[in-house]
Amino acid sequence: MNRLFDKIPEELFAPLSRKYKTIYAFALVSLYHMLKLYKTDIKRVDYANLLKSQGSELMALFSVETDRLDDKDESEGIEMEAYNSEDENAILSAKVSYVVRKLAKCGWYIISRDPKNNVEYIYIPAYSIQFLTLLNSLTSDAGSYLPLVHQTYAELKMEDEKEDDYMYRSLLNAKTNADSLEMSVTLLRQQICVFGNRLTHVLDPNVALQQHFDEYRVDIADKYYHPMKTFDSLGLYAQPTISILNKWLKSQRIITLLVKEAKTEPVNRNKSIAELTTYVIKLISSVIDIFSRLTSAFNEIDHANANYTEAVQKKVNYLSATDKTVKGKIDRIILALATEIKNNPNLRYEEMPILNQATDSIELFRQGCLDSFSLQMPYKRGAKNFEEEPLPLADDFFPDDSASLLMEKFDNELNRFSDSTITQFMERNFQDKKEITTTEIQIENTDDMVLMILGVLKAMLGLIPYKAEKIADRIEYQGYYMPQYKFTRKKGAR
């Protein structure tokens, strides 16, 4: 594999690291706009005229002598063209000419003179066009997200219905779209984390609001998050796409058809049927795996977006709070100290005025107490020792007696609501009747209420010889609101 600088000039990025990098960036973005406008050869004079007409204010701040200080050696230097120092247009033309020749020397384009008409043209290499496109996208406000999920689903659905000669090409497009979508989801999550990290260094509520509404909402939420969340939703189209691909993967007829179409591609003519079959199966499985991962990955993005939004709200509330209590005053002191440290990263703590003022104005005291020894000199600090032993607990029973009494207590508590106790309670209320309702059950205390409730549950589970049937959702009986049940004695139970 060739190295990067075997393909591009070594000084290609040098103009973007100089003092006047803004002017060079403006010149490169302008060149990209001319390339889109002309779509053919670009005359050097037209390029220079564009820079002079749209960049006159920037060029007024440009100094050739200062820019030359960034040259590493004499070989990077560009000679300044002669001009009339009293003519502003001549000065502007000389500066523009210097910038144009500087970019050409660094390898962004080639200036060639046509021998037939003696006109200089600008020719841009392929690598330079790619970098110009990137620079334009970074400086543009236009959104760049494409609805890749819906596009992939729609194309695969159409091919699934028609099964024409473009199924293999559609599968290749699905793989390309899946890779691009995976990178878009990764970049989106990274950007949310970047804004969340930047928020920790914000100490002004207005700056936090500006970052959220002017930067995050415009550049991230509106351009990428909401489109991927709503009309190009992964949750809406990912699963149908996976279903279509699973259908293809399980169909021997469709796999054979895809292999036949893949064989017609020039790059696959030397491959065997077995190799192409394996390749097609791996291609389908890869797209399925990517869409399956993206579904869970976007759930993490939702979580990260919710956390960032909540963090912005808490940050703004904290920074804009007007708490008059001691805690509020301490918060403002800490905020002022943090701002001082952030604005002076090169100073030590003892060199910062506000920290010295805080140190001088705050006094710390150790907490203490007064006792009978406090008036004696000298003062001594120490822990008080208690020589008295704690009083023993009286135990009137032997250990065996205590254990038996405790077990008896447990047995009594368990027997209060056992199945036999519940059955005895129901028998007292049934007497000679075959069926009764809850309003016929005598409830004299809380234990009776508990036994009645347990009777309903045990009867429905078949653990006692009665059946329970609900006949009303709510009645009022003896000061309680309860459902109305009918209890029926099972046959043979008495």
Q: What distances in angstroms separate CA 397 from CA 63, 121, 391, 392, one per listed residue? A: 104, 113, 18, 14
Query: Mean pLDDT throughout 306-310?
Result: 87
Query: Cis ω on the peptide bond leading into residue 378 (within 30° of 0)?
Result: yes
Q: Flag whether pLDDT at 69 surpasses 70.
A: yes
Give the model's pLDDT for residue 131: 87
Q: Flag whether pLDDT at 316 surpasses 60.
A: yes
CB 310 within 8 A of CB 261: no
* CA 94 from centre of chain: 50
Query: Mean pLDDT throughout 406-424?
Result: 71
Query: Mean pLDDT throughout 25-52?
Result: 86
Residue 191 pLDDT level (bands cut at 50, 70, 90): confident
Residue 281 pLDDT level (bands cut at 50, 70, 90): very high
CB 147 within 8 A of CB 154: no
Q: Flag whether pLDDT at 388 surpasses 70.
A: no
Interatomic CA distance for residues 466 and 461, integer angstroms:
10
Which range scores top for mean pLDDT: 218-227, 306-315, 382-391? 306-315
Give the model's pLDDT for residue 282: 92
Q: Flag whether pLDDT at 330 surpasses 60.
A: yes
CB 407 within 8 A of CB 437: no
Q: Flag whether pLDDT at 140 surpasses 80.
A: no
Q: What distances in angstroms separate CA 167 from CA 160, 173, 285, 288, one per listed residue? A: 8, 10, 16, 16
Residue 434 pLDDT level (bands cut at 50, 70, 90): confident
Give the model's pLDDT for residue 92: 87
Residue 73 pLDDT level (bands cut at 50, 70, 90): low
Interatomic CA distance for residues 439 and 474, integer angstroms:
12
* Better-scored residue on pLDDT, 162 or 147: 162
Query: Mean pLDDT throughout 5-27?
Result: 85
DSSP letter at 212 equals I
Residue 393 pLDDT level (bands cut at 50, 70, 90): low
pLDDT tens, position by position, 203-231: 788 888 888 888 888 778 877 787 777 77
Torsion of CA 389, 390, 396, 402, to 10 degrees: -120
Query: Mean pLDDT throughout 147-171?
Result: 86
Q: What is the pTM of this model?
A: 0.48
The partner residues of 113 in beta bridges, in order of sequence, read 120
Q: Flag whether pLDDT at 288 surpasses 80.
A: yes
Give the model's pLDDT for residue 385: 60
Residue 1 pLDDT level (bands cut at 50, 70, 90): very low
What is the SS3 assignment for 74? helix
Interatomic CA distance for residues 357 and 153, integer angstroms:
66
Give the model's pLDDT for residue 383: 59
The partner residues of 482 in beta bridges, in order of sequence, read 475
Percent of the chain past pLDDT 70, that is, above it, reads: 79
Give the model's pLDDT for residue 322: 60
pLDDT tens, position by position, 447-480: 888 888 888 888 887 788 888 888 888 888 777 7
Give the model's pLDDT for residue 372: 64
- Under 8 Å CB-to-CB from 48, ≥6 apart: which residues? 93, 96, 97, 100
Q: Flag whether pLDDT at 339 surpasses 60.
A: yes
- Under 8 Å CB-to-CB from 43, ≥6 apart: which residues? 119, 120, 121, 122
Residue 285 pLDDT level (bands cut at 50, 70, 90): very high
Q: What are phi and psi of 179, to 5 degrees?
A: -65, -45
Give the model's pLDDT for residue 41: 77
Give the model's pLDDT for residue 397: 47
